[in-house]
Amino acid sequence: MREDYVHGYSEVEAGRLADQANTLSNLLHDGTKYPAGSKVLEAGCGVGAQTVILAKNSPDAGITSIDISESSINQAKELIRENKIVNVEFTRADLHNLPFEDKSFDHIFVCFVLEHLKDPLDALNNLRRVLKDGGSITVIEGDHGSCYFYPETKEAKMVWECLIECQKRFGCNPMIGREIYPLMTGSGFKEVQVQPKVVYVDSSKPELVDGFNKKTIIAMVEGVKEQALDMNMVDNESWQKGINDLYKTTESDGVFFYNFFKGTGIK
Ligand SMILES: C[S@@+](CC[C@H](N)C(=O)[O-])C[C@H]1O[C@@H](n2cnc3c(N)ncnc32)[C@H](O)[C@@H]1O
C-alpha cells in the first residue's frame, strides 16, 4: 500500500478511522464476541480503532493484532494503553507472509483491509493457513458502489466518483464488499454467510450525521482532494461545489445510504 494513499498513515486519517470505528461499532461488531481463553488474530489492525472494540467485547480472549506499518502499530499500542486494555499483543507482519505456525489461532478478524490489497485471495489463503480447523474468520468491508444520497447533484456525484477512481488508481478495490462471498468461498472457507450492514442516515439521527456523513464519508472524500486535482479528474471549483453539496446531506432534509458487508466463515 502506498504511503500517500488516502487510507494512509496521516494523523487526519487516524482520527477518521477512530470516528468510523466508534460510530459503526454496534453495527459492525454485533455478534463478534470471542470466548475466554481463545486466541484471536486481528489482521491489519491499523491504529487500533477496531482493536479497542474487539478487546472490550472479548475481554477474556487473547488478541494478537498485526499490521505492516510500524508507526500504525505504535499508535495502536498507545491507544490500548490509554484504554487500560491488557489482552492485546502486537506484531509487525505482512498478511502475505505471516510469521505464525499453521493452525495457531481459534478466530480471525479482518476489517477494512482486503480493499487495500493487490491480491486479497492470497491474504485470505495465508490467514486460512494459520487458523485452526473449525476456527472462524470474520471479514468486514465497504462497497462504494452501494452509496446514494439526497440531495444529489452532478458535482456531489463527481467528487464521490473521484474517491472511487483515486482508490482504484492506487491499486485498491473500493467495491470489494460485493466480492467477500466469492473471495471467502474461493479461499476454501465453509459455511460462509455474508450480511449487508446498512447505514441509513437522516437528520433524526444526529450522532450518525456527525460520525458517519461528516467524519467518516465526507472526510474520506476530502482526503483525495489533492490527488483528484493533480490527476485532473476535476477542477477546483467543481470540487468545492461537490464537497459543499455533499455537506447538504447533513442538513435537515438530507439523507445518506451506504452498505457495508460482513462475512463469516469456518475452516
Ligand atoms: C484502512 S486501514 C484499517 C485499519 C483497521 N482494521 C480499522 O478498521 O480501523 C488498513 C490497514 O491495513 C494495513 N495493511 C495493508 N496491507 C497490509 C499487509 N500486506 N499486511 C498487513 N497489514 C496491511 C495498513 O497498514 C492499514 O493499517
Distance CA 149, CA 248 (A): 10
The strand pair at 62-67 and 131-142 is best described as unpaired
Q: Domain boundaries in the chain? A: 11-266
The pTM of this model reads: 0.93
50-92 pLDDT per residue, tens:
999 999 999 999 999 999 999 999 999 999 999 999 999 999 9
> Which of 65, 38, 249 is CA-nearest to residue 135?
38
Q: Give the model's pLDDT for residue 9.
A: 65
Q: How many CA atoms lie within 13 A of 82 on its CB side?
A: 11
> Which of 186, 195, 182, 205 is CA-nearest to residue 257?
205
Q: How far is the CA of 252 from the centre of ligand 1 (A)?
A: 35
The strand pair at 105-111 and 131-142 is best described as parallel
Q: Which atom of ligand 1 is nearest to the CA of 94?
A: 20
Q: How far is the CA of 68 from the centre of ligand 1 (A)?
A: 7
Q: Give the model's pLDDT for residue 82.
A: 95
Ligand 1 contact via 142 beta carbon (within 6 Å): no
Ligand 1 contact via 17 beta carbon (within 6 Å): yes
Q: Which atom of ligand 1 is nearest to the CA of 123?
A: 19
The closest residue, in CA terms, to atom 10 on ligand 1 is 113
User: What would the grid cell of residue 209 be?
Assistant: 450525521
Distance CA 28, CA 181 (A): 17
User: Among 5, 66, 68, 216, which is best to mutate for testing ligand 1, by the most ligand atoms less than 8 A from CB?
Assistant: 68
Q: How many CB atoms lie within 10 A of CB 263?
A: 22
Task: Identify the segments of the chain with pLDDT beneath 50.
Answer: 1-6
Q: How far is the CA of 95 from the centre of ligand 1 (A)?
A: 9
CATH class of the structural domain 11-266:
alpha beta
